[in-house]
């Protein structure tokens, strides 16, 4: 059993943690998407309910596109689901007629992917088209009395809300998405290559395929690096293929599918949001309103700025509204006063300029917005099963179960305290000198040279 550290600040700090271990098996973490509405049963869009085990959503989407003979851009999904789990979610594919359905019926699906239901619908499934997610999670090896402590923690979170931080899965399997996004947004092509093909300390310790690919990239063996990346790693494979064709770095990075480039940019937005949430958590204001706050309405989804927090106290207590943090970009309603100063300071600490960010994000088609600092929790059940703890609850779209578990278990630091931009990379990335030679930054597509790091 993992012991609980006591030197961190949690929303439920007075309640001891349960300790325990997560994800010993895929079945320990189950997620079911709650659709906004069921498919109508008629239409040109083929709706597939997928069960995934150990498989990222985008890999499942690519597999379905390939096997059904449809264009990947014509496939829609409401949300990305964690790869390290058993997940149930709907996707849609523009597929008039019965051809795609017949192909899928006889296709051999990848390991870990199963189609549990097939229907027809009139429109493409869009991001956010869901009511929420239902979680069924087993925490193994908890301490005695864990169920009672979990109930107490969850009752407090039901009243106050869950920290709406972005969880680690938002930042990619290798945890590098925000750093790649930062470099792409700021036009740092050498830095983007360094982070895309760099190896994290965890990967190096595990001697993973991606760590070996990073070593080969740094040694100039682009073909060797390419061979090590699985087919599903489209970004890395496409960029390496372009570099081998002596394409300039900027153009090579544009070979990344647009959907993934936007995800990298969004990961940067998420890291900045977490940094702003960390400031609110430090000041005990993640569930309090301050003068100048941007206010999120949980009923309408609309954002407005407030002057007198007292006028919103009743709505805040009812969970009708919450303070909202920035998803940086041109379209963000600016906070003022103390909240605005907190957000500006978070950017300063991260070494980021708001103007440069807005310009780069707009170039990538990412406009910005606001996200509430807290999310509403609905608990369905808590039970002790042998030496394990079983938790069943629902969260709204975009909220992370890992932030609930962090409060219940108290074996990791609170969500808002984690930026997901590694400190070593907040300024100019040192790995550029190791993994991305000076000649990679030249404009001429004929002078690529990645030899001898």
- What's the CATH number where 57 sits? 3.30.2350.20
Taking only the tens place, the pLDDT of each residue in 54-97 is: 888 888 999 999 999 999 999 999 988 888 899 999 999 999 98
Residues paired with residue 21 on neighbouring β-strands, in sequence order: 140
pLDDT of 7 over the 50 cut: no
Which stretch of DSSP H or E encloses residue 32?
strand 29-35
Residue 174: band (very low, low, confident or very high) from pLDDT cuts 50, 70, 90 = confident
Taking only the tens place, the pLDDT of each residue in 287-306 is: 899 999 999 999 999 999 99
State how many domains the chain has.
1
390/18 Cα distance (integer angstroms): 12
Ramachandran region, residue 81 (left: φ > 0; alpha: ψ -120 to 50; beta: rest) = beta
**pLDDT at residue 203 in the model:** 53
Residue 435: band (very low, low, confident or very high) from pLDDT cuts 50, 70, 90 = very low
Taking only the tens place, the pLDDT of each residue in 342-361 is: 999 999 989 999 999 999 99
Which stretch of DSSP H or E encloses residue 160?
helix 146-160
Please indicate, yes or no, if residue 419 is contained in any of the structural domains.
no
* pLDDT (mean) for 253-277: 93
Residues 6+ apart with CB under 8 A from 438: none
Please indicate, yes or no, if residue 178 is contained in any of the structural domains.
no
Please indicate, yes or no, if residue 417 is contained in any of the structural domains.
no
- Choose the catalytic residue: 28, 71, 82, 293: 82
Please indicate, yes or no, if residue 447 is contained in any of the structural domains.
no
pLDDT of 365 over the 50 cut: yes
Query: How confident is the prediction for the chain on average, in pLDDT?
Result: 85
Q: What is the pTM of this model?
A: 0.82
Instruction: Pick the closest to residue 236 from 262, 257, 251, 265 (CA basis).
Output: 257
* pLDDT (mean) for 212-238: 89
**Chain CA centroid to CA 354, Å:** 22
Which residues form the domain of 42? 37-127
Please indicate, yes or no, if residue 312 is contained in any of the structural domains.
no
Whether 79 contacts 33, CB under 8 Å:
yes
Instruction: Pick the closest to residue 160 from 252, 17, 288 (CA basis).
Output: 288
- Phi, psi for residue 128 in degrees, rounded to 5: 90, 0
Instruction: Pick the closest to residue 400 from 411, 416, 383, 389 (CA basis).
Output: 416
447/438 Cα distance (integer angstroms): 11
Please indicate, yes or no, if residue 113 is contained in any of the structural domains.
yes
Q: Would you call 82 a catalytic residue per the annotation?
A: yes
Least confident of 199-203, 265-269, 331-335: 199-203
Please indicate, yes or no, if residue 98 is contained in any of the structural domains.
yes
pLDDT of 420 over the 70 cut: no
**pLDDT at residue 448 in the model:** 24
- Phi, psi for residue 76 in degrees, rounded to 5: -120, 155
pLDDT of 165 over the 80 cut: yes
Please indicate, yes or no, if residue 309 is contained in any of the structural domains.
no
């Amino acid at each position: 059993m993992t012991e609980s550290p006591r030197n961190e600040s949690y929303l439920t700090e007075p309640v001891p943690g349960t300790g325990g271990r997560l994800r010993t098996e895929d079945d320990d973490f189950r997620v079911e998407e709650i659709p906004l509405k069921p498919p109508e049963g008629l239409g040109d869009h083929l709706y597939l309910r997928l069960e995934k085990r150990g498989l990222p959503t985008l890999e499942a989407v690519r597999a379905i596109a390939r096997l059904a003979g449809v264009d990947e851009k014509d496939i829609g999904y409401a949300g990305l689901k964690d790869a390290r789990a058993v997940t149930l979610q709907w996707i849609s594919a523009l597929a008039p007629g019965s051809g795609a359905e017949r192909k899928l019926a006889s296709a051999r699906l990848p390991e870990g992917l199963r189609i549990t239901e097939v229907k027809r619908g009139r429109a493409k499934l869009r991001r956010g088209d869901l009511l929420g997610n239902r979680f069924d999670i087993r925490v193994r090896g908890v301490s005695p009395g864990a169920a009672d402590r979990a109930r107490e923690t969850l009752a407090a979170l039901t009243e106050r809300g869950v920290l709406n931080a972005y969880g680690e899965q938002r930042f990619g399997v290798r945890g590098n998405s925000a750093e790649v996004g930062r470099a792409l947004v700021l036009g740092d092509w050498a830095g983007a290559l360094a982070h895309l093909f760099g190896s994290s300390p965890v990967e190096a310790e595990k001697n993973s395929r991606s760590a070996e690919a990073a070593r080969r990239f740094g040694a100039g063996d682009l073909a060797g690096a390419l061979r090590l990346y699985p087919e599903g790693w489209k970004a890395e494979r496409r960029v390496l293929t372009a570099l081998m064709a002596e394409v300039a770095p900027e153009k090579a990075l544009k070979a990344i599918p647009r959907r993934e480039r936007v995800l990298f940019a969004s990961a940067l937005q998420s890291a900045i949001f977490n940094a702003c949430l960390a400031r609110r958590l430090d000041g005990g204001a993640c569930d309090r309103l301050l003068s100048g706050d941007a206010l999120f309405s949980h009923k309408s989804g609309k954002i407005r700025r407030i002057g007198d927090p007292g006028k919103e106290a009743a709505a805040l207590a009812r969970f009708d509204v919450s303070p909202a943090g920035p998803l940086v970009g041109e379209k963000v309603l600016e906070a003022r006063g103390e909240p605005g100063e907190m957000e500006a300071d978070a950017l300063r600490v991260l070494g980021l300029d708001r103007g440069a960010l807005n310009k780069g994000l707009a170039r990538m088609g990412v406009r910005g917005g606001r996200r509430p600092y807290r999310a509403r929790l609905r608990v369905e059940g808590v039970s002790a099963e042998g030496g394990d703890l079983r938790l069943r609850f629902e969260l709204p779209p975009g909220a992370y179960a890992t932030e609930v578990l962090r409060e219940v278990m108290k074996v990791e630091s609170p969500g808002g305290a984690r930026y997901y931009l590694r400190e070593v990379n907040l300024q100019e990335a040192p790995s550029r000198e190791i993994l991305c030679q000076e000649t990679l930054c030249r404009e001429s597509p004929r002078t690529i040279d990645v030899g001898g790091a």
